[in-house]
Amino acid sequence: MPTALIADDEPLLLDELASQLAMLWPELDIIARAKNGAEALAALNREQPDFAFLDIRMPGLTGLEVAKSTASRTRIVFVTAYDAYALAAFDASAVDYVLKPVETSRLAACIARLQRANGPQPDWQQALSTVNARPASLEWLTVGLADTTRLVAVGEVIYFEAKDKYTEVVTTHERHLMRTPLKVLLAQLPAGRFSQIHRSVIVSLPAVDRIEKDLLGRQRLYLRGREEVFTISRSFAGQFKQM
């Protein structure tokens, strides 16, 4: 009986993947689950499963780092929302990658590939070099809305705001929550499209209507068609001097 490990830092997505695999490949025995890179690496080396379905962006170690570090000969499949990273792994002869949200037909095709004869072992060092040389900006965000986990296109976001332990993602008609801190998020956003204006706020520049100074000389940022008005912190004010 073939065995597998599945790893994802989003519990709902982990459960969904397990359910889909059980439906499409009943013979597959999922012998381990991991919610971060360190757990995934330990389970791979301990259990030596035939296959591993790894998220790329996980706390601690990325999926690519896990694949590079394991001593196991496990065949790796990336299940990820980040197509640029998945393509880097594919270039390095990874067995397969599946983009989130996972479509049943795409996962079925992946399983068919895994069930065929063994392919070449991937060169994870090359994959990491490719990723490091070509940083990828986010195109999709994994967010929570009530009891549902879904994807939101980065291009739809008007602003991000830090809220306690979460980051609020605001689009034209919805508000979502995600766990990525603003500092980490800013480095992953498309260059030139977003700007941090406060330690707790990142705005989409195309959504900015105007910037005005109040009586105290503070810069106030107004968004197109919205009521929110943000005060730009002094440490971030210099980037708007020409506006």
> Block means of pLDDT (10 residues each) for the chain, length 243 residues?
94 92 94 95 94 90 85 85 63 70 88 72 53 61 70 91 90 88 85 89 93 88 93 83 55
Could you tell me where in the chain the CATH 3.40.50.2300 domains are found?
Answer: 3-133
User: What are 102's two structure tokens?
Assistant: 């996972």
Could you tell me where in the chain the CATH 2.40.50.1020 domains are found?
Answer: 140-240
Q: CATH class for domain 140-240? A: mainly beta
**Please, are residues 125 and 65 in contact by the beta-carbon 8 Å criterion?**
no
Q: DSSP for 165-218, please give it.
A: TEEEEEESS-EEEE---HHHHHHHSPTTTEEEEETTEEEEGGGEEEEEE-TTS-
d(CA 11, CA 167): 18
d(CA 219, CA 150): 35
Domain 3-133, second-level architecture: 3-Layer(aba) Sandwich (3.40)
CA atoms within 13 Å, Cβ hemisphere of 34: 29
User: What are 57's two structure tokens?
Assistant: 């962006």
User: What are 145's two structure tokens?
Assistant: 């809305």
Q: What is the pLDDT of residue 186?
A: 86
Residues 6+ apart with CB under 8 A from 104: 20, 24
pTM over 0.85: no
64-107 tens-digit pLDDT: 888 888 877 889 898 887 766 655 565 444 688 888 888 888 89
Q: DSSP for 151-170, please give it.
A: EEEGGGEEEEEEETTEEEEE
